[in-house]
Chains A and B, each alone.
Chain A
Amino acid sequence: MPIEVRHLTHCYSEGSVLRTVALDDVSFTINDGEFVGIIGHTGSGKSTLVQHLNGLLKPSSGQVLIDGEDLNGEHVNRRALRQRIGLVFQYPEYQLFEESVEKDIAFGPKNQKLSPEEIAERVRYAMDCVHLDYDKYAARSPFELSGGQMRRVAIAGVLAMKPSILILDEPTAGLDPRGRDKILSMLEELHQREHVTTLMVSHSMDDMARLAGRLLVMSEGKVVADGTPREIFAQEDMMTSIGLDVPEAARLCARLRAKGYDLPADLFRPEELREHLLRLWKEGSAC
């Protein structure tokens, strides 16, 4: 299910003094199986954009086409489409409500009107995806888990619907490094194993450097850059001018280059930087 966004514009409080343009003529296409990162400063329109992608917000003008079908068209079953596009909100653990982890994860499949056996199977599948042990956690109350575990339960609640497109809004915000690492490796695994089209909104350039195959950079409601992380992170000046960082490794690399070290301009992963540095060190070609 490719997603195509055509000239999407969204204004909040249309027709009043408080009118603000959150999205301004945004267009892009996302193909099957891609892992796309959406980055941008606070208030750049990222969250507004992802809410359009499953029809929770209606565009002021423009279209969102899922599989060639207009999401806001007249004869579209939005609820059915919504279940094929899994959206994980910011701080999704605040949406948990059931008395047990199992019941909470089953909420989505139940709304899909699946059979009880199918639902039970889906719950096991989703808990497996987020690395939560079924026997240990299924019967526990979601409110007595740790923050990171609650978040994984909430993500499992979306995965249980087996969406063909998974959208995550800041899935690692507010987690400790370990919780963050777990979520990221879980997403990586899911993308590699199931080829789910994944869109991830994040502030963290290091998360993006690790996962995304393509980046959309947003600023003031517009997509200002669209390309591979390698292309994007090489443009440190552009990124700083819109208030964003580049990954630690890319910044270190740029500084070393400025001092005259012979390094390629487009390094952004810690591992590849280490490799190049080791090579330089072995050659003994420090200046």
Chain B
Amino acid sequence: MLNNITMGQYYPVDSKVHRLDPRIKLILTIVFIVIVFLAKTFAGYALIFAFVWMVSRIANIPFRMLLRGLKPLRIIIILTFLLNLFFTSGETVWVQFWIIRITKEGFLQAAFYSLRLIFLVLGTSLLTLTTSPVSLSDGIEILLTPLKKIHFPAHELAMMMTIALRFIPTLLEETDKIMKAQMARGADFESGNLISRAKAMVPLLVPLFVSAFRRAGDLAMAMESRCYHGGEGRTRLRVLKITRNDWIACAVVALLLALIILEGIFL
């Protein structure tokens, strides 16, 4: 009933990309975002597309899976396209009637900005599809460690993320169960106007919150009884190591960056 949330879902296959160090993958993703913003021409975008396609092949991820990440953002992408299409001034007029005026420049800019959005989503989906949530938050924690000097709670933040991710399926299951239980008592979640539907959510949300708080209490108790006391002096089960493949990945992305910068200068 409720399990089609695709954006940022881990795709569990084994590949060279999956095995990359999460820290490296995070940094490379940030570099990728910068690259997307640096690209000035459609030629540059072609290059970026080739890169994304290549990575998805190496990662054994069907391109279709990658495109599914765009679905939740389709409205924003379409809106970006339309706004740029109608409100960009230009010389070469293609269509004009009433207050609508579509120019060649407008069309190119609209296409360019929506492609930029699409690439941003594809690049970050590559990260989340190939990195399990646990190793992702591991990577984030290590990258944020330097900030501990200014009392930034890096470990706590990563732990919170891990726990939140861990409980998404549990809470979905719980929601499903409570929904069914209330339906068995004649509750109606599907019909009626907006207000009566919002009211119908009360019998669902109250038990859900109660159980979430109860679970949180239980979990805190279980963690404390196993001597958890925050990040200080804590060692890790999986020690992250940079391998040859990580250096190769860095080199490939550096090459892409160089090409895009050159493209910006010469084209």
A155 CB to nearest B CB, Å:
11
Contact among B180, B181, B185, B203 for A161, CB-based, below 8 A: B185
- Chain B positions within 8 Å of A, measured between CB atoms, are 174, 177-178, 180-188, 202-203, 206-207, 210-211
Tell me the complex Cα distance, A161–B180, Å. 16
Whose C-beta in chain B lies nearest to the C-beta of A83? B186
Q: Evaluate contact between A97 and B188: CB separation under 8 angstroms.
A: no
**Quick one: CB contact mask for A83-111 with B, threshold 8 Å, 1 for yes?**
10011010010111110000000011001
Please measure, in the bound complex, the distance between the C-alpha atom of A97 and the C-alpha atom of B211, giving whole angstroms: 11
A49 to B184, CA, bound (A): 15
- A95, B186: Cβ atoms under 8 Å? no
A83 to B178, CA, bound (A): 16
**Residue in contact with A92 in the complex, picked from B181, B188, B202, B203, CB distance below 8 Å:** B181
What residue of chain A has the Cβ atom nearest to residue B200's Cβ?
A111
A158-B202 in contact given A94-B178, A95-B178 (Cβ < 8 Å):
no
Interface of B is mostly: helix
C-alpha spacing A273/B7, complex, angstroms: 62
Query: B206 and A97: CB pair below 8 A?
Result: yes
Asked whether any CB of chain B lies closer than 8 Å to the CB of A143, the reply is yes
Interchain CB contact under 8 A, B184 and A111: no
Contact call A108/B206, Cβ cutoff below 8 A: no
- Closest residue of chain A to B202 (Cβ to Cβ) is A97
A149, chain B: closest CB distance, angstroms = 16
A100 CB, nearest partner CB in chain B, Å: 13
In the assembled complex, which residues on chain A have CB atoms less than 8 Å from the CB atom of B182? 95, 107
Partner of A111, one of B178, B180, B187, B207: B187
Q: Which residues of A does B touch, CB under 8 Å?
A: 51, 54, 56, 79, 82-83, 86-87, 89, 92, 94-98, 107-108, 111-112, 143, 157-158, 161
Q: Give B205's nearest chain A residue, CB to CB.
A: A97
Which residues of the other chain, B, contact A92 by a CB distance below 8 angstroms? 181
- 6 nearest A-B residue pairs (beta carbon): A111-B186, A97-B206, A95-B181, A87-B184, A108-B185, A89-B181
Q: Are A143 and B184 in contact (CB under 8 A)?
A: no
Looking at the complex, which one of B177, B180, B185 makes contact with A157 (CB distance below 8 Å)?
B185
B206 proximity list for chain A (CB < 8 A): 97-98
Bound Cα distance from A96 to B185, whole angstroms: 11
- Min C-beta distance of A75 to chain B, whole Å: 17
Report whether A82 and B203 are in contact in the complex, using a CB–CB cutoff of 8 Å. Answer: no
Q: Which residue of B is nearest A104, CB measured?
A: B203
Residues in B with CB closer than 8 Å to A56 are 180, 183-184
Q: Are B203 and A107 in contact (CB under 8 A)?
A: yes
Q: Given A95-B178, A97-B202, A143-B210, answer yes or no on A79-B184 (Cβ-Cβ < 8 Å).
A: no
Compute how far the CA of A97 lies from the CA of B206 in the bound complex, rounded to whole angstroms: 5
| Chain B residues in 8 Å Cβ range of A86 | 184
**In the docked arrangement, what's the CA distance between A108 and B187, Å?**
8
Do B185 and A107 have beta carbons less than 8 Å apart?
Answer: yes
The complex places the Cα of A14 from the Cα of B207 at a distance, in Å, of: 30
Q: Given that A56-B180, A89-B181, A97-B202 are known contacts, is A108 also in contact with B186, CB under 8 Å in the complex?
A: yes
Do residues B207 and A96 form an inter-chain contact, with CB atoms below 8 A? yes
Select one of A51, A94, A111, A143 contacting B185, CB under 8 A.
Answer: A111
Bound together, the chains give a CA A94 to CA B206 distance in angstroms of: 10
CA distance A83 to B184 in the complex (A): 7
Per the bound structure, the CA–CA distance linking A94 and B212 in Å amounts to 11
Partner of A82, one of B177, B184, B210, B211: B184
| Minimum Cβ distance to chain B for residue A63 (Å) | 20
Residues of B within 8 A of A112 (CB): 186
Q: Evaluate contact between A89 and B184: CB separation under 8 angstroms.
A: yes
Select from chain A the residue with minimum beta-carbon distance to B183: A56
Return the chain B residue nearest A158 by Cβ: B185
Bound together, the chains give a CA A157 to CA B210 distance in angstroms of 18
Of the A-B pairs whose beta carbons lie under 8 Å apart in the complex, a sample of 23, sorted by A's number, is A51-B180, A54-B184, A56-B180, A56-B184, A79-B186, A82-B186, A86-B184, A87-B184, A89-B180, A94-B174, A94-B207, A95-B178, A95-B181, A95-B182, A96-B207, A97-B207, A97-B210, A107-B187, A108-B186, A112-B186, A157-B185, A158-B184, A161-B186
